[in-house]
Amino acid sequence: MNGAHMNETKQRTFDIAVVGAGPAGSMAALYAATGGRNVCLFERKQTVGIPVRCGEGIGLKGISASAEFDRRWVQATIRKACFMSPGGRTVTLEDIEESCILDREIMDRDLALRAESAGAVLLCGTPVLSVSRSDRALYRCTTPAGDYFASCVILAEGVESRLARSLGWDTSLALSDIESCAFCRIRHPSIQSDAVWFYVGSTYAPGGFAWVFPRAEGWANVGLGLLGSLCESGKPQQFLERFVERFFPGSSLTDLHCGGVPVGKWVKPLVRDGVMLVGDAARQVNSLSGAGIAYGMYAGRLAGQTAARAFETGTCDYRRLADYEKAWAKHLGKQQLRSYALKTMLLLKNNDAFLERIARSFEHADPSRLKYVALFLRAFARHPLLLLKAWRLFGANRAGRRTGDT
Amino acid sequence: MLTIDKDKCDECATCVAVCPADALCLAQHLSVDTGRCTECGTCVKVCAFGALSHTTE
């Protein structure tokens, strides 16, 4: 090896490589760099955050738990949540946890910039084509711009989770564990800037729901997701066009995009021989709501911190990376498995008549006193069998965890 | 054979996530490894924009 080549290889060698500059990846890179490590952050797209493939709704508690929150990320502040039943009944919740609609384009860019300011090297327009072992303690990340090397790799590659597959994980999603979504932005005078709307039932979105999340008065993100097993080629787009035509007649669809949302359990293990999975790549998404920003940011931060700490002895101690999975499982991991149990149970009972009965029972309820949990309790109270099934699912999750630990 | 309609494809990678044969890859653009593809139709089914189809030839 000549001197110039050695020099170049050295420049291309990092402690930690993070693949994907979404919220999960940028958080991982930020905290790994803050922890004193030499970090590289790869992004396939030319510009971070574009296009936005997201409904952009989030609870403030969820996002503040991981990142220093910037008010500039907020498009609209939400005061109430409204549910539309298959038959057109509305249930309104007014006393909801503080929530907002984000501008992901600004937020994603800011998070990547924070990682960069902390010392991470951000490489946009650089897809990682493969990750392989270079030697016992080093991974090779192959890109069109040549090879890069790192002791530890954090995969935040999004829903495709393909590099993870090449490293031995089985991350291919079953059709019952993915929502195929289509979304767009529309302008319509009926859109209120402080209310989110969920439309549930097979007429709007079989095995999923449609959402209207305001960006401002008269302007909203509108989208819907169909469960993979109930989806057919092109159907989400057709359902979206039909939905907009029905509820917001005359408005045209702009920024039309599609995307897959994992709604299964999170991947086990999350860590393997110096490689960690975070965010959508790890299927860390609330299975019931499809919300993944807060989960991804929390996991990214945790993974970045854990990876940085694993280097305390100088080289990466792979055994210490497992702390990430332990901490995740204990906190949001547990919450996700609960949401998965609820989702599975609702799907067992997913018929429009059932949803209509719940909506009817709330018809005269006071919106300011209604809570999300009340909706579920009511559903269960009326259907004790469901409660039993849910209980079994929780039990199954706990048993699964025990076997997973051994 | 699996065909990708490049005008319809939004490059969201949902198809990559469900492919049981690991035959699809999104680098700069979506591509299919016809040697691996078993033509099971899973990707065609989940594509929200209808950009994938099987053609006989």
Has residue A66 been placed in a domain? no
Q: Are residues A140 and A258 in the same domain?
A: no
Q: Is residue A204 part of a domain?
A: yes
- What is the mean pLDDT of the segment spanning A124-144? 94
Nearest CA in chain B to A177: B18
Residues A82 and A203 in one domain: yes
Nearest by CB to A231, from B12, B19, B45: name it.
B45
pLDDT tier at A338 (50, 70, 90 boundaries)?
Answer: confident
Flag whether pLDDT at A328 surpasses 70: yes
Residue B35 vs residue A347, higher pLDDT: B35
**Co-location of A50 and A130 in the same domain:** yes
Query: For chain A, what is the domain count?
Result: 3
Confidence of residue A388 (pLDDT cuts 50, 70, 90): low
Q: What's the gap in Å between the CA of A367 and the closest CA on chain B?
A: 35
Which of left, alpha, beta for A315 (phi over 0: left; psi -120 to 50: alpha)? beta
Find the helix or strand (DSSP H, E) in which B52 lies: strand B52-54
Q: How confident is the model at residue A373 (pLDDT cuts 50, 70, 90)?
A: low
Sign of CA dihedral A9, A24, B43, A235: negative
- A389 at the B interface (CB within 8 A)? no
A131-149 mean pLDDT: 93
Whether the CB-CB separation of A41 and A111 falls below 8 Å is answered with: no
CA distance B34 to chain A (A): 17
The verdict on A272 touching B (C-beta cutoff 8 Å) is no
Model pTM score: 0.91
* Together in a domain, A197 and A248: yes
Alpha helices in A121-278 (DSSP H): 162-166, 235-247
Residues A120 and A158 in one domain: yes
With cut-offs at 50, 70 and 90, classify the pLDDT of residue B38: very high
- Give the residue among A394, A266, A287 at the shortest CA–CA distance from A347: A287
Tell me whether A172 touches chain B (CB under 8 Å). yes
pLDDT surpassing 80 at residue A245: yes
- Cβ burial of A387 (10 Å; 0-12, 13-18, 19+) is middle
Look at residue A282 and tell me if it is in a domain. yes
Three-state secondary structure call for residue A393: helix
Name chain B contacts of A50, Cβ cutoff 8 Å: none
Of residues B42, B57, B56, B55, the one with CA closest to residue B4: B55
Do A358 and A298 sit in the same domain of this protein? no
**Do A295 and A197 share a domain, yes or no?**
no
Residue A1, pLDDT > 80, answer: no
Check B48 against A181: CB less than 8 A apart: yes
Is A62 part of a structural domain of the chain?
A: no
Is residue A185 a part of any domain in this protein? yes
Peptide bond into A51 cis (omega under 30): yes
Whether residue B56 is predicted with pLDDT greater than 50 in this model: the reply is yes
3-class SS at A268? coil
pLDDT at A405 (0 to 100): 33
Q: What is the CATH number of the domain that holds A202?
A: 3.30.9.10
Copy the structure tokens of residue A276.
């960690």
Q: Taking CB atoms and an 8 Å limit, are B13 and A129 in contact across chains?
A: no
Same domain for A154 and A17, yes or no, is: yes
Q: How far is CA A194 from the centre of its chain?
A: 23
Q: What's the domain range around A251?
A: 72-102+174-262
Q: Are residues A270 and A380 part of one domain?
A: no
Tokens 């909506």, residue located: A359
Whether residue A370 sits in one domain with residue A350: yes
Specify if A60 maps to a domain.
no
pLDDT interval class at A98 (50, 70, 90): confident
Q: What is the pLDDT of residue A350?
A: 61
Kindly tell me if the per-residue pLDDT of A341 is higher than 70: yes
- In this prediction, residues A90-102 reach a mean pLDDT of 87
Q: Is residue A59 part of a domain?
A: no
Give the distance from residue A156's alpha carbon to the nearest chain B alpha carbon, in angstroms: 14
Mean pLDDT along residues A55-79: 91
Establish if A130 belongs to a structural domain.
Answer: yes
In a shared domain, residues A362 and A250: no
Q: What value does the mean pLDDT take over residues A267-292?
A: 96
> Which residue in the set A127, A173, A257 is minimally distant from B18, CB to CB?
A173
Q: What is the mean pLDDT of residues A331-341?
A: 91
- Asked casually if ipTM beats, i.e. exceeds, 0.90, the reply is yes
